[in-house]
């Protein structure tokens, strides 16, 4: 499997001839320095953790250009459909859907979700983490935006993720130190990739504190260069 980080929480997974985007926030993302055409080439699915602009991102335009199917919670799917989205597969927390060559499961995240102007935000279901289980490949867990919570232990037991994307930016998510605690206490990962940092000035700008807090642990910490695929 190849994983490409585009800054903030936006990722691309390439496995088994599939190309899947997670939280494709390109336009307006201060950390995105690549080319959208290259980032979305061959994409068949878009997975969204929750309904905030910095995670929904360019979903509508990408889906229109590529014909990709959007997989996310029911409320967000219906809202996107009202905005013109045509191909979607709605689900909700705890559920699993079968996609060609992989499954998607939505799990809990401690955050919020809604889109719109201040004072008129439309609630868009619960925030989620996403479990991707490719046929014959490692299980990937994108935590979305979240704090640490004890049921991460159950997520680890039920789904046995081997690769995780973990938010470390603080203010809106876990801090780097808390994120490291979550990884060390609850999971047996082959690799962890920090995200949700280095974009907006009010959150953490580097992964240095997370890397330091993970020192001595057996989990491989990957701090990828933006737009450059890494093998996992």
Residue 196 belongs to a domain with what CATH number?
3.60.15.10
Range of the domain at 130: 2-224
Is residue 232 in some structural domain?
no
Task: Mean pLDDT check: name the lowest of 8-22, 107-121, 158-172, 218-232.
Answer: 107-121
Is residue 230 in some structural domain?
no
- Crossing angle of helices 176-186 and 152-159, rounded to 10°: 50
Q: How confident is the model at residue 191 (pLDDT cuts 50, 70, 90)?
A: very high
Q: How confident is the model at residue 116 (pLDDT cuts 50, 70, 90)?
A: confident
Is residue 26 in some structural domain?
yes
Q: Model confidence over 193-214: pLDDT tens digits?
A: 999 999 999 999 999 999 999 9
Is residue 231 in some structural domain?
no
Q: Which residue has the higher pLDDT, 89 or 121?
A: 89
Is residue 18 in some structural domain?
yes
Q: Domain count for the chain, please give it.
A: 1
| Per-residue pLDDT, 120 | 73
Is residue 197 in some structural domain?
yes
């Amino acid at each position: 499997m190849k994983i490409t980080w585009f800054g903030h929480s936006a990722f691309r997974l390439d496995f088994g001839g599939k190309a899947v985007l997670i939280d494709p926030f390109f336009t307006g993302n201060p950390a995105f320095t690549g080319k959208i055409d290259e980032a979305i080439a061959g994409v068949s699915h878009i997975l969204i953790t929750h309904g905030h602009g910095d995670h929904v991102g360019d979903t509508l335009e990408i889906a229109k250009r590529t014909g990709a199917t959007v997989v996310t919670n029911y409320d967000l799917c219906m809202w996107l459909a009202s905005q013109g989205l045509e191909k979607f597969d709605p689900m909700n927390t705890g559920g699993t859907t079968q996609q060609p060559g992989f499954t998607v499961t939505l799990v809990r995240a401690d955050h919020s979700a809604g889109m719109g102007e201040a004072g008129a935000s439309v609630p868009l279901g619960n925030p989620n983490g996403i479990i991707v289980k490719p046929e014959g490949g490692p299980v990937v867990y994108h935590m979305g935006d979240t704090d640490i919570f004890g049921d991460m232990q159950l997520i680890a037991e039920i789904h046995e993720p081997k690769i995780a994307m973990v938010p470390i930016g603080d203010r809106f998510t876990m801090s780097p130190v808390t994120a490291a605690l979550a990884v060390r206490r609850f999971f047996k990962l082959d690799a962890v990739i920090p995200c949700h940092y280095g974009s907006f000035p009010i959150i953490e700008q580097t992964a240095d504190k997370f890397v330091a807090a993970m020192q001595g642990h057996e989990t491989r910490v990957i701090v990828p260069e933006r737009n450059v695929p890494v093998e996992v």
